């Protein structure tokens, strides 16, 4: 393979060579059966991948993706932009943007909670990772992962029994989701995330995310969101009980 490297063969298989080079490689392959076989296999892999995944190009796109909104994360570009602007506007601007970030972060909570609800509440076979029959283990496990002692509200008086819970990746780390279900099979979830912000509290806030209603609030290091496909007043009644039990 004196004139050719393996990279040339890959480029040939992928159609990334110019005409002159392509002709040279072609001539070479006529005399090297092993190399020709490799190229054949690579092309077959490419074709198999496209055959397998191309149908997804025509699949309907979930609404939540079309409704995606800008997020503000801890991205290097962002840090650069914030830094540059802070230099132009001074520290006052920076303090303001910091507050704005906090606000946006809080707004992401109901949305993530609603998405997590929408994904797992309809699940028939695996709605939770750990069932209510292992409640002690569930609470210990999630508390350990979130690095905070979690409490599971008891909602039987409101008609909801605990189904169980699961660990989810949140915007900045692990998040816990507890799921409840009433006699009719209606489900609600309590989504608990850890915040790296300073201690503070917020009042109840409400957000309607498509069909999912969400009441959310921040209590110290933890952000809570109660989600359900039900009307605002019924959900608020449950949210009030949850809040009271978490803050006796």
Of 113, 109, 110, 130, the C-alpha closest to 121 is 113
Q: What is the Cα–Cα distance from 209 to 26, expressed in whole angstroms? A: 57
Do residues 199 and 179 lie in contact, with contact meaning Cβ atoms separated by under 8 Å? no
x-or-dash string of contact with other proteins, 161-180, rule CB under 8 A: ------x-x---xx------
Residue from 166, 163, 160 nearest 132 by CA = 163
Distance CA 205, CA 216 (A): 5
Please report the DSSP string for 11-45 in residue order. Answer: HHHTT-S-HHHHHHHHHHHTT-HHHHHHHHHHHHH
The answer to whether 190 and 144 have CB atoms below 8 angstroms apart is no
In sequence order, which residues have a C-beta less than 8 Å from that of residue 43 and are 6 or more positions away? 13
For the window 4-43, what string marks contact with other proteins as x by the rule CB under 8 A? --xx--xx--x-x------------------------xx-
φ, ψ of residue 180 to 5 degrees: the values are -125, 160
Task: Give the nearest distance from C-beta 205 to other proteins in angstroms.
Answer: 20
* Given 27, 33, 68, 91, the residue binding other proteins (CB under 8 A): 68
Of the pair 26, 123, the CB lying nearest other proteins is at: 123
User: Measured from the CB of residue 54, what is the shortest distance to other proteins in angstroms?
Assistant: 7
Which one among 21, 22, 145, 221 touches other proteins, defined by CB under 8 A?
Answer: 145
Contact between 192 and 176 (Cβ < 8 Å): yes
User: Whole-number minimum distance, CB 163 to other proteins, in Å?
Assistant: 13
Nearer to other proteins, 70 or 248 (CB): 70
Nearer to other proteins, 64 or 151 (CB): 64
Closer CB to other proteins, 42 or 93, in the complex: 42
Q: Which of 20, 34, 56, 183 is close enough to bind other proteins by CB under 8 A?
A: 56
Among 27, 57, 203, 233, binds other proteins (CB under 8 A): 57
Tell me how far, at minimum, the Cβ of 33 lies from other proteins, in Å: 16
How far apart CA 88 and CA 200 sit, in angstroms, is 30
- Cα gap 239→233, rounded to integer Å: 10
Contact residues for other proteins, defined by CB under 8 A: 6-7, 10-11, 14, 16, 41-42, 45-46, 48-50, 52-54, 56-59, 61-62, 64-66, 68-73, 75, 77-78, 81, 115, 119, 123, 125-126, 129-130, 134, 141, 145, 167, 169, 173-174
């Amino acid at each position: 393979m004196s004139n050719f490297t393996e990279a040339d063969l890959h480029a040939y298989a992928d159609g990334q060579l110019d005409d002159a080079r392509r002709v040279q490689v072609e001539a070479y392959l006529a005399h090297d059966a092993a190399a020709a076989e490799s190229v054949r296999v690579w092309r077959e892999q490419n074709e198999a991948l496209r055959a397998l995944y191309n149908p997804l190009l025509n699949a309907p796109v979930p609404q939540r993706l079309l409704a995606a909104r800008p997020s503000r994360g801890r991205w290097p570009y962002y840090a650069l932009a914030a830094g540059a602007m802070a230099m132009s506007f001074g520290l006052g601007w920076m303090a303001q943007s910091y507050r704005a970030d906090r606000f946006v972060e809080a707004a992401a909570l109901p949305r993530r909670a609603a998405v997590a609800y929408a994904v797992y509440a309809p699940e028939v076979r695996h709605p939770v990772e750990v069932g209510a029959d292992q409640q002690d283990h569930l609470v210990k496990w999630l508390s350990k992962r979130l690095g905070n002692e979690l409490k599971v509200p008891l909602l039987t008086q409101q008609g909801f029994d605990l189904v169980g819970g699961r660990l989810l990746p949140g915007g900045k780390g692990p998040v816990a989701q507890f799921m409840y279900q009433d006699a009719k099979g209606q489900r609600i979830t309590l989504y608990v995330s850890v915040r790296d912000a300073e201690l503070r509290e917020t009042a109840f806030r409400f957000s309607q995310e498509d069909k999912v209603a969400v009441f959310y609030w921040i209590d110290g290091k933890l952000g809570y969101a109660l989600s359900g496909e039900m009307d605002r007043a019924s959900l608020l009644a449950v949210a009030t009980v949850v809040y009271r039990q978490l803050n006796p």
